[in-house]
Amino acid sequence: MFLFFAGLFLIIAILYILVPPFFGPPSVPTRHERIRKALQLADLQPDEVLYDLGAGDGRVLVIAAKEFGAQAVGVEIGPVQCAVSWGKALWNKISSKVRVEARNFYHADLSNADVVFAYLTSDQAGRLQEKLKRELKSGARVVTVAFNFPDWEHTSLDRENLIFLYKK
């Protein structure tokens, strides 16, 4: 019995660590305070739709739904990360305000997003920028943590936390 659970734990840990680097950065979470700063910079309003591209352990979704009253959608490729995000939404009793899509975010439909949050790498910036410019509605905001877009002038910048704000 012990060996079964130890093996299961090992498989889950390996999936958690190994799946994300196939698609982009490893699953490194953003600090909670930095998330709050980013959502404030984006001026996220109650009932607006927030997308986190690469939702990781779901912490952005929880803060957006619980503290800002937003409808939060996470798009995440890692199966374990998705399960953790779903679990956190249930635990925090906000599952009616949170949706997690287990998929590659390049294939997600972002047309109803009011705010997009992304903590990724510069390698992903070019392709993502094109998708956002193509799909986002007019007035939508994008906040990027630790990376910026090559050909999109940011509207505002939090230098201390390295958070960029873009407006469509």
Ligand X SMILES: C[S@@+](CC[C@H](N)C(=O)[O-])C[C@H]1O[C@@H](n2cnc3c(N)ncnc32)[C@H](O)[C@@H]1O
Binding site for ligand X (CB under 6 A): 20, 23-25, 27-30, 52, 54-56, 59-60, 75-78, 81, 104-106, 119-120
Decide if 145 contacts 119 (C-beta within 8 A). Answer: yes
User: What is the rounded distance in angstroms from the CA atom of residue 53 to the CA atom of residue 106?
Assistant: 9
**Shortest reach from residue 5's CB to ligand X, in Å:** 25
* Structural tokens at position 23: 């698609």
Nearest residue relative to ligand X (C-beta):
54
Closest residue by Cα to residue 100 from 36, 47, 57: 57
Q: How many Å from the N-terminal Cα to the C-terminal Cα in the chain?
A: 55
Which of 51, 152 has the CB closer to ligand X? 51
- Residue for token pair 């997009």: 116
Q: Closest CB to ligand X among 6 and 18?
A: 18
Of 7 and 104, nearer to ligand X (C-beta) is 104
At its nearest, how many Å lie between ligand X and the CB of residue 147? 10
Nearest distance, CB of residue 134 and ligand X, angstroms: 16
Closer of 7 and 68 to ligand X (Cβ):
68
9: CB partners within 8 A, 6+ apart: none
Compute the least distance from the CB of residue 23 to ligand X, in Å.
4
